[in-house]
Amino acid sequence: MTNRYHSNGKLLLSAEYAILDGALGLAVPTTYGQSLHIASNKTGRLHWMSKDHNDALWFEFHLELNNIKLSMVNSKTGETLKKILLAAQRLNPEFLTGKEGFTAESKVDFPMNWGLGSSSTLINNISNWAAVDPYKLLRETFGGSGYDIACARHDTPLLYQLENDIPRVKEISLDLPFTSKLYFVYLNKKKDSREGISQYREQHFDKALLINQITEITENMTNCKGLSDFESLMLRHESLLSAVLGLPTVKATLFPDYPFAIKSLGAWGGDFILAAGNEQSPHYFNSKGYEVVIPYEKMVLS
């Protein structure tokens, strides 16, 4: 028996942080993702191999399946994977309980420090293998809003919102006529989203007001017909969160001379930013030392 699973990476174009409290977010699945190939064997053990985007093996371990909880692992990555498998087993008691063994090969097709969802794509792939609810598996392991799971499972842009902690997902046709003037720029460092969330939780502000403001921005973003209007929404979003977090915007910090709008994506201070611009924009960011500049059309799955 062999099975193959694939999950899309993710980017959140609006509502970072506020999506946790119920704000409507605009999310896009990426052309990059992670695959999982499962083959059964007769060893009674799980042989797991993780490969990076260069097809290099970066993690490998063996797990005794007759008692996963007592099976020894000797690395932080192994402990994390064991935790995910045990959580999946709690959600589906039939998972990994027979005498069958498995060989599993997981592979990402993007550098894992890009922050495109190496964890969420893994969670979604394992949930498909274990036949469990991926949102529940996420809640049992890494936590978070779950928008990244939605991106992993959907092949179009989507609107995502938590209503009483229940995920609401709506696929949309994001027909922006100016996508050729949008770029994703990697800031050369990965930001720990849990650290960013913790910082957000420490702030005191009118939560209901922020949710309404961000939701309005998200709705307007999906209907934009001109780049200047979209840039205005980007700048307003940045201004609102800058005030809440007590942090300067990424443009003020790193690119004060850039002539177009820039917006942070995800936890502030790392991963990717969204930049409006023109054909000269990649050269601008390259000259500042940021070599990864990906056009919208090459990044977003649609």
- Supply the mean pLDDT for the chain: 94
- CATH number for the domain that contains residue 16: 3.30.230.10
> Both 159 and 235 in a single domain?
no
Task: Report the distance separating Cα 289 and Cα 229, nearest Å.
Answer: 29
- The DSSP output letter for 300 is B
Measured N-to-C along each axis, helices 227-245 and 207-221 cross at an angle, to the nearest 10 degrees, of 160
Q: Over the stretch 26-69, which tens digit does the pLDDT of each residue have? A: 999 999 999 999 999 999 999 999 999 999 999 999 998 988 88
> Both 128 and 224 in a single domain?
no
Query: Residue 286 corresponds to which tokens in the numbers above?
Result: 């390259």
> Both 150 and 222 in a single domain?
no
- What residue ranges in 67-208 does DSSP mark as E strands? 101-108, 158-163, 166-171, 182-186
Domain boundary among 171, 197, 232: 171
Pairing of strands 45-51, 101-108: parallel
Give mean pLDDT, residues 107-130: 96
What is the number of H-type helices and E-type strands within the chain?
10, 11
Is the model's pLDDT at 299 over the cut of 80?
Answer: yes
> Both 140 and 201 in a single domain?
no
Domain tally for the chain?
2
Residues 269 and 191: beta-carbon distance below 8 Å? yes
Q: 72, 47, 73: which is closest to 60 by C-alpha? A: 47
> Both 210 and 283 in a single domain?
yes
> Both 120 and 191 in a single domain?
no
Domain boundary among 125, 152, 171: 171
Q: Residue 293 is inside which H or E element, if any?
A: strand 293-295
Strands ordered across the beta sheet of 293-295: 262-264, 272-276, 182-186, 293-295
- CATH number for the domain that contains residue 195: 3.30.70.890
pTM above 0.75, yes or no: yes
Residues 293 and 150: beta-carbon distance below 8 Å? no
Calculate what percentage of the chain has a pLDDT beyond 90: 85
> Both 65 and 101 in a single domain?
yes
Give mean pLDDT, residues 145-162: 97
> Both 271 and 211 in a single domain?
yes
User: Computed over its alpha carbons, how large is the radius of gyration of the chain?
Assistant: 20
Q: Over the stretch 256-290, which tens digit does the pLDDT of each residue have? A: 999 999 999 988 887 999 999 999 999 999 999 99
**Domain with 62 in it:** 2-171
> Both 27 and 107 in a single domain?
yes
